[in-house]
């Protein structure tokens, strides 16, 4: 049963993204309730006992947002349990592995429990993650459950058509989004190819295109309408809901569409009603309100003569990113999978029974819930801000020398307060001293060495009196804009956890700063409302990873890969796909896709890397680069270095301070001939 994971090679510094995924259908499991008391107790007990992986699991809330698929093993490493609670010990995948969960089991349970007289068949909205293996695996493993795909653009429609050729013939191909004649024609071709295609009208004028083109192509289409409900989701993700939402038809527009189809003899083609309240629906109460309103519209369409068969409830099944199980946050939801399915089935059944209408097929487009767990972004902390200097590193006589009268007064008052153990007074005078010295430095009457020692003294006083130590900055080999765009753009918070050393107590609070030259390129908001993250010291650790420190961002499988840009020309990470296996490592790497090279991202911005290389090569020739320069670099090695720079990824590499010779040798390791090492030949 395939699952997704990332195999981290300690010799490769660029970030790595989990990819492709397990589309197997695990048995439904209840969401675990939040247990703040257990977390508090675990941390408290750690003060008097040996630190254990259980303590780390508690402070990072892994059991709350990650159960039943993520856990920490006895070695202090994050593991993925591909079969949820049914996973055996030998099936746990160390460090990274995850399985996508499906809605099918939960809906089937609700349907049986409520004697619902139809079935559920979902579709995956490929906009969440268009990766080939993700889409193909969903179709492959969803085939027994008629699981289909939803497309919102022409490229996505082509992708979906191709994948569904190998899927269940009953699997739905739902065509959403704005449409032109080419889009509608493509959808009609899909119908000709015996794909179970539904063209959903998002704008009223689209019905004219469908009528005209279906007649020209001699295709009897299946048509759906997207209703613009009055029910509104008030959270950040609710902008697509309500009467002023971006998509959908009002009741007046729906009636006009019905009339046009009736006049064209195509009312029987209208078979699906679609609606979408918005992503991350916070509660089942709001969900039920929307489903009830939509089912009333569905029943009216039946009354008007449409051959209705399917009600598509759209997306909205939420992910509990922070483990709080709260309905008052965009980061969480107050229900579990079973509650969600039960609320939908119950609302539709009651209205249909009341109107004596046949129960429709229930469809959903829950992309976030399907793929959020499928990938893990692994990145390395490459450095951190230094510790507060020790007392013997501060030159007290140097501090006093040259101080203004007011600054000297602050210094002696600080000393007196320290002798009296008046902590708050100490901090007050230390702060005043620091500010006066800054003013003196700006005026030019204080040397930089003195200013540095004053800063050190202030930090030392703060530490001695127990003031909260400022969070350290951990520099990570990552671009937030490329790999976690939702954090930067909408403040979406994801669980971030060290993937190893969880058998050690994290002693440092830190924020994460990326490689980009942008003040927004930092992560300073974490689950639980924290503004810093508990981390381990970097210095002198081997952590089982040759002294390197790796962090994982979880639940980011939806949207992040598709939305990422190339800010500062940092491209995407390496992608590694993994299958769960019964071998000694419990997994097998099935695909390794290097991230974009410098040449790739330059090409995205309309540059021509081959011409750029030739320009630099001619420049070297023009300025007569000697065969042996003063530093021992020869011409061939210099040009080889330039060529390799175009081929390498933009991220930092874990190499010792290198010379051109080392780069030349590195090129040779890849099996290139002497000519190939310095001839630009990137396809």
Q: Which of 115, 409, 426, 517 is catalytic?
A: 517
Residue 223, token pair as written in the block = 């048509």
Q: Pseudo-torsion of CA 553, 377, 317, 245, nearest 10°?
A: 100
Alpha helix positions (H), 328-484: 337-354, 367-371, 396-400, 405-419, 423-443, 448-464, 480-483
Cα angle, residue 613 at apex, residues 608 and 614 outer, rounded to 5°: 100
Which residue is associated with the tokens 């499928």?
374
pLDDT for the residue 310: 97
Conformation bin of residue 492: beta by default, left when phi > 0, alpha when psi is -120 to 50: beta
Same domain for 401 and 315:
no
For 275-324, the DSSP string reads ----SS---HHHHHHHHHHHHHHHHHHHHTT----EEE--S-----SSS-
Weakest mean pLDDT among 114-128, 146-160, 367-381? 367-381
- Answer yes or no: is 188 within a domain: yes
DSSP state of 143: G
Same domain, 81 and 125: no
Q: Do the beta carbons of residue 140 and residue 148 sit within 8 Å?
A: no
221 in a structural domain: yes
User: The domain that contains 490 carries what CATH number?
Assistant: 2.40.37.10
Whether 444 and 301 share a structural domain: no
Q: pLDDT-derived band of residue 576, with 50, 70 and 90 as boundaries?
A: confident
- The string of pLDDT tens digits covering residues 235-272 is 655 555 566 667 789 999 999 999 999 999 999 999 99
Question: Do 264 and 236 belong together in one domain?
Answer: yes
Report the number of distinct structural domains present in the chain.
Answer: 4
CA–CA distance, 671 with 660 (Å, rounded to integer): 18
**How far is residue 556's CA from residue 99's CA, in Å, rounded to a whole number?**
13
* Least confident interval from 197-211, 550-564, 669-683: 669-683
Q: Would 452 be classed as within a structural domain?
A: yes
Same domain, 331 and 441: no
Q: Which two tokens stand for residue 281?
A: 């629906």
Domain membership of residue 44 (yes or no) is: no
- Do the domain assignments include residue 362? yes
What phi and psi, each to the nearest 5 degrees, are found at residue 674?
-60, -40
What one-character-per-residue DSSP string does 240-282 give?
Answer: TSSTT-SS-B-HHHHHHHHHHHHHTT-GGGEEEEE----SS--
Query: How is the chain split among helix, strand and coil, in percent rounded to 5?
Result: 40, 15, 45
Same structural domain, 563 and 616? no
Picking from 133, 131, 172, 178, the residue whose alpha carbon sits closest to that of residue 150 is 172
**Catalytic-residue membership of 269:** no
Percent of the chain whose pLDDT exceeds 90: 34
Residue 15 has pLDDT above 80, yes or no: no
160 within domain boundaries: yes
> Mean pLDDT across the stretch 117-141?
90
The answer to whether 247 and 238 are in contact (CB under 8 A) is no
196 in the same domain as 59: no
Full domain range(s) for residue 289: 96-372
In a domain, 513, yes or no: yes
Confidence of residue 205 (pLDDT cuts 50, 70, 90): very high
Q: Are residues 605 and 640 in the same domain?
A: yes
Is the pLDDT at 196 greater than 60, yes or no? yes
Q: Which pLDDT band holds residue 393 (cuts at 50, 70, 90)?
A: low
Same domain, 184 and 232: yes
Assess whether 88 and 213 both reside in one domain: no
Q: Which tokens is 665 given?
A: 């040798």
Give a yes or no: residue 680 inside a domain.
no
User: Do 531 and 638 reside in the same domain of the chain?
Assistant: no
Among 409, 433, 465, the domain boundary falls at: 465
Whole-number pLDDT of residue 443: 85
Same-domain pairing of 350 and 285: yes
């Amino acid at each position: 049963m395939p699952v997704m994971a990332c195999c981290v090679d300690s010799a490769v510094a660029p970030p790595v993204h989990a990819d492709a995924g397990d589309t197997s259908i695990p048995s439904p499991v209840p969401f675990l309730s939040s247990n703040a008391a257990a977390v508090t107790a675990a941390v408290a007990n750690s003060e008097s006992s040996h630190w254990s992986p259980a303590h780390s699991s508690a402070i990072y809330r892994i059991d709350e947002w990650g159960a039943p698929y993520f856990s920490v093993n006895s070695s202090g490493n994050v593991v993925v349990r591909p079969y949820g609670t049914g996973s055996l010990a030998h099936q746990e995948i160390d460090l990274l592995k995850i399985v996508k969960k499906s809605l099918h089991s939960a809906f089937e349970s609700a349907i049986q429990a409520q004697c619902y007289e139809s079935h559920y068949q979902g579709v995956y909205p490929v906009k969440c993650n268009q990766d080939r293996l993700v889409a193909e695996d969903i179709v492959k493993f969803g085939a027994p459950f008629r699981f289909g795909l939803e497309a919102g653009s022409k490229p996505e429609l082509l992708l979906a058509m191709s994948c569904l050729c190998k899927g269940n013939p009953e699997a739905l191909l739902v065509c959403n989004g704005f449409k032109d004649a080419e889009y509608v024609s493509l959808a009609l071709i899909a119908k000709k190819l015996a794909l179970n295609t539904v063209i959903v009208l998002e704008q009223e004028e689209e019905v004219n295109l469908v009528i005209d083109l279906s007649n020209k192509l001699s295709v009897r289409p299946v048509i759906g309408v997207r209703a613009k409900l009055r029910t509104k989701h008030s959270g950040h993700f609710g902008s697509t809901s309500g009467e002023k939402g971006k998509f959908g038809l009002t009741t007046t527009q729906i009636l006009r569409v019905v009339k046009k189809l009736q006049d064209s003899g195509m009312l029987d083609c209208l078979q699906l009603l679609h609606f979408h309240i918005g992503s991350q629906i916070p509660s089942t109460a709001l969900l039920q309100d929307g489903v009830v309103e939509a089912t009333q519209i569905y029943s009216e369409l039946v009354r008007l003569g449409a051959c209705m068969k399917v009600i598509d409830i759209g997306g909205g099944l939420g992910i509990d990113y922070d483990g709080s199980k709260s309905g008052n946050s965009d980061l969480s939801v107050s229900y579990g999978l079973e509650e969600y399915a039960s609320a939908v089935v119950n609302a539709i059944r009651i209205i249909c029974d009341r109107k004596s209408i046949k129960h429709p097929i229930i469809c959903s487009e829950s992309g976030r819930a399907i793929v959020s767990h499928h990938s893990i972004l692994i990145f390395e902390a490459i450095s951190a801000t230094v510790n507060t200097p020790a007392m013997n590193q501060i030159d007290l006589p140097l501090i006093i020398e040259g101080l203004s009268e007011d600054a000297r007064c602050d210094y002696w008052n600080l000393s007196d307060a320290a002798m009296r153990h008046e902590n708050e007074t100490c901090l007050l005078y230390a702060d005043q001293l620091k500010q006066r010295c800054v003013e003196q430095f700006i005026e030019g009457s204080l040397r930089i060495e003195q200013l540095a020692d004053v800063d050190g003294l202030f930090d030392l006083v703060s530490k001695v009196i127990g003031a909260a130590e400022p969070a350290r900055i951990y520099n990570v080999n990552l671009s937030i804009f490329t790999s976690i765009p939702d954090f930067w753009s909408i403040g979406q918070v994801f669980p971030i956890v060290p993937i190893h050393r969880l058998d050690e107590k994290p002693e440092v609070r830190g924020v994460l700063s990326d490689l980009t030259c942008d003040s927004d390129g930092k992560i300073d908001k974490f689950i639980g409302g924290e503004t810093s993250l508990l981390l381990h010291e970097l210095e002198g650790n081997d952590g089982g990873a040759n002294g390197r420190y790796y962090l994982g961002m979880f639940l980011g499988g939806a949207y992040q890969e598709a939305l990422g840009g190339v800010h500062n020309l940092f491209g995407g990470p390496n992608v590694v796909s993994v299958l769960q296996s019964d071998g000694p490592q419990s997994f097998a790497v099935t695909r390794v896709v290097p991230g974009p090279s410098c040449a790739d991202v330059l090409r995205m911005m309309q540059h021509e890397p081959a011409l750029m290389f030739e320009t630099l090569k001619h420049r070297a020739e023009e300025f007569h680069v000697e065969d042996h320069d003063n530093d021992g670099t020869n011409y061939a090695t210099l040009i080889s270095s330039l060529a390799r720079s175009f081929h390498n990824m933009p991220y930092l590499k874990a190499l010792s301070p290198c010379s051109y010779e080392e780069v030349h040798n590195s090129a040779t390791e890849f099996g290139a001939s002497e000519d190939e090492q310095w001839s630009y030949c990137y396809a």
